[in-house]
Amino acid sequence: MTARRIFGVETEYGITCAPPTGRGAAASGAVQDGDSHRTAADGDGSAVVTADDAARYLFRKVVQWGRSSNVFLRNGARLYLDVGSHPEYASAECDDVHQLVVNDRAGEMILDEMTEDANDLLFEEGVPGTIHLFKNNVDSAGNSFGCHENYLVRRRRDFQAMGEALVPFFITRQVLTGAGHIRVRPGGRAAYAFSQRADQMWDAMSSATTRSRPIINTRDEPHADADLYRRMHVIVGDSSVAETTTMLKVGMTDLLLGMLEDGAKVRDLALAEPMRAIREISHDTTAKVPVELASGRRMSALDMQEEFYSRVTGYLDDHGHTAELSGVQRRVLELWERGLRALRSEDPTLVDTELDWAVKARLIERYRAKHTLALDDPRVARLSLAYHDISPRRGLATTLAQRGLMARITTDEEVADAVSTPPSTTRAKLRGDFVAAAQDRRRDITVDWVHLKINDAAQRTAVLKDPFSPVDERVDALIAALEV
């Protein structure tokens, strides 16, 4: 059996309040306002709601019931407003990639409902504008925000070495899992790139997040038994719109981690200049231009991803794991291989309903051809932004999926269910049940990834150091105490 692993994805969302033109952000020229102190203004100069204010409207109901803008939900996830006014949804702990995609999509649904409520509130108060939420990584002011992946790994002395083996993987996987980005080249001309996030990363590994923007954050905060585990906190990925891109991003990383945890070494793929390579690779949409390795060898991102793919599949075969792979793991490997083939044969149609960069490129190219537009035309920028708008009405993903232009692996029913139901196989189940019981009985509690506490005279607390366990008698007792 491939080892069971806990993982979770945190997504920060872009937020803006578009001026009221009645046409929605995609058509109205909305920009994302990342600067909370700036007041955006529409064409005739009338002020509209800042991103900061929009975030406050968004969280007003949450603050009413949770008395905080940092809450844990019935589905085990965390929802909060961090600095910089970017709403964040941190998925519940999952132990299966499909389950993770479902919990992540439930987060979009929760945030979309909050957006609709906030827009109703704006309307009621006579405030002009429509709030939009974007699952992307950069706003029009150039501010970057993240999508972090978390993987539980066993604690061992060579965590740093494992991280170093992963850096070239994370730098090159963007040719498969990048969200696609129209960037402005020096000199002002627009060009398509694989990743929104690549230009924003400054460090390979570091214990700080925002200041240095490392690929892997090495801060030691396992949210689990610290004697046994570490949490690999990956900062570098683009947020994914297509479910299949999330699936591949997390699934391929999980399989590679399994191989490394089992003792396999990947030392020969270290890059000479990782932070230069990450940008060059993002900008080279052929994925075939070589970059220099520490060994002096030159390989392209495509060569390197082919190498990672063949090492992972070779490892699985050699250790008899291939036959035991789950359905979603097989799907991950199949898409990984097909993505590589699409790049090698320069045929994006092989993946243009599944990998964000290809889905988006196709959308943009068709639109440009139909209206004879340059890549840097503002209408193309708005279309590209609307790809990330989470609203099923204003955003494009739902329509693309309905037209068969974007693949899905979940059903609407599964996602709707996961709005209020935690994953059943991990610690998230205990947290979700506890939160639900407290909400139903209007009891005051304090919760984080590890702790569940009833805020009464007795201050009963359960400490859940095992993220794999969905059952715990102490939590049953806590829930019983809530119910009396």
Ligand X SMILES: Nc1ncnc2c1ncn2[C@@H]1O[C@H](COP(=O)(O)OP(=O)(O)OP(=O)(O)O)[C@@H](O)[C@H]1O
Residues near Mg ion, by CB under 5 A: 10
Decide which of ligand X, Mg ion, none touches 224; Cβ closer than 5 to 8 Å per partner kind: ligand X
> In whole angstroms, what is the distance from residue 254 CA to residue 2 CA?
10
Classify strands 229-234 and 214-217 as parallel, antiparallel or unpaired: antiparallel
Binding residue per annotation — 88? yes
> In whole angstroms, what is the distance from residue 1 CA to residue 124 CA?
56
Of 148, 145, 127, nearest in space to 136 by CA: 145
> In whole angstroms, what is the distance from residue 60 CA to residue 68 CA?
9
Out of 52, 82, 203, 377, pick the active-site residue. 82
x-marked contacts with ligand X along 444-483 as a string, rule CB under 6 A: -----x-----------------x----------------
Contact 139, 14 (CB under 8 A): yes
Decide which of Mg ion, ligand X, none touches 437; Cβ closer than 5 to 8 Å per partner kind: none
Residue the block writes with tokens 């006014």: 85
Which of 8, 19, 180, 258 is the binder for ligand X (CB under 6 A)?
8
Binding residue per annotation — 46? no
Please, which residue, 4 or 265, has the CB nearer to ligand X? 4
Torsion of CA 366, 243, 15, 212, to 10 degrees: -110
Distance in Å, CB of 12 to Mg ion, minimum: 8
Measured at CB, which residue is nearest to Mg ion?
10
Instruction: Quote helix, strand, coil % in the chain, to nearest 5.
Output: 40, 15, 40
Residue the block writes with tokens 């009963």: 460
Contact 352, 407 (CB under 8 A): no
- With H, G, I as helix, E, B as strand and everything else as coil, classify residue 192: strand
> In whole angstroms, what is the distance from residue 249 CA to residue 461 CA?
36
C-beta neighbour count of 151 within 10 angstroms:
20
What is the phi-psi region of residue 426: left when phi exceeds 0, alpha when psi lies from -120 to 50, beta otherwise?
beta
Return the amino acid letter for 29: G
How many residues line the site for ligand X (CB under 6 A)?
21
Please, which residue, 49 or 114, has the CB nearer to Mg ion? 114
Please, which residue, 362 or 465, has the CB nearer to ligand X? 465
> In whole angstroms, what is the distance from residue 283 CA to residue 159 CA?
30
> In whole angstroms, what is the distance from residue 55 CA to residue 14 CA?
10
Please, which residue, 8 or 87, has the CB nearer to ligand X? 8
Distance in Å, CB of 84 to Mg ion, minimum: 12
Decide which of Mg ion, ligand X, none touches 135; Cβ closer than 5 to 8 Å per partner kind: none
Beta pairing partners, 451: 463
> In whole angstroms, what is the distance from residue 367 CA to residue 383 CA?
9
Binding residue per annotation — 206? no
Binding residue per annotation — 80? yes
Please, which residue, 92 or 114, has the CB nearer to ligand X? 92
Query: Which range binds ligand X by CB under 6 A, 89-97, 254-262, 305-313, 357-365?
Result: 89-97
Contact 88, 12 (CB under 8 A): yes
Decide which of ligand X, Mg ion, none touches 384; Cβ closer than 5 to 8 Å per partner kind: none
Decide which of Mg ion, ligand X, none touches 91; Cβ closer than 5 to 8 Å per partner kind: ligand X
Query: Which range binds ligand X by CB under 6 A, 38-46, 88-96, 295-303, 429-437?
Result: 88-96
Which of 224, 332, 359, 445 is the binder for ligand X (CB under 6 A)?
224
Binding residue per annotation — 306? no
Distance in Å, CB of 100 to ligand X, minimum: 9
Query: Which range binds ligand X by CB under 6 A, 1-9, 238-246, 325-333, 432-440?
Result: 1-9
Distance in Å, CB of 90 to ligand X, minimum: 3
Query: Which range binds ligand X by CB under 6 A, 4-12, 59-67, 176-184, 239-247?
Result: 4-12
What is the phi-psi region of residue 85: left when phi exceeds 0, alpha when psi lies from -120 to 50, beta otherwise?
left
In the chain, the N- to C-terminal Cα span, in Å, equals 43
Residue 82 appears among annotated catalytic residues? yes
Binding residue per annotation — 10? yes
Return the amino acid letter for 32: Q
x-marked contacts with ligand X along 91-120 as a string, rule CB under 6 A: xxx---------------------------
The alpha-carbon radius of gyration of the chain (Å, integer) is: 22
x-marked contacts with ligand X along 364-393 as a string, rule CB under 6 A: ------------------------------
Q: Is 429 in the site for ligand X (CB under 6 A)?
A: no
Residue the block writes with tokens 């991803």: 305
Measured at CB, which residue is nearest to ligand X?
8
Structure tokens at 266: 């990947």
x-marked contacts with ligand X along 135-174 as a string, rule CB under 6 A: ---------------xxx----------------------
Annotated binding site for ATP: 78, 91, 449
Annotated binding site: 10, 78, 80, 88, 91, 449
Applying CB under 6 A, the residues found at the interface with ligand X are 6-10, 78, 90-93, 150-152, 221-224, 231, 233, 449, 467
Give the active site residues: 82
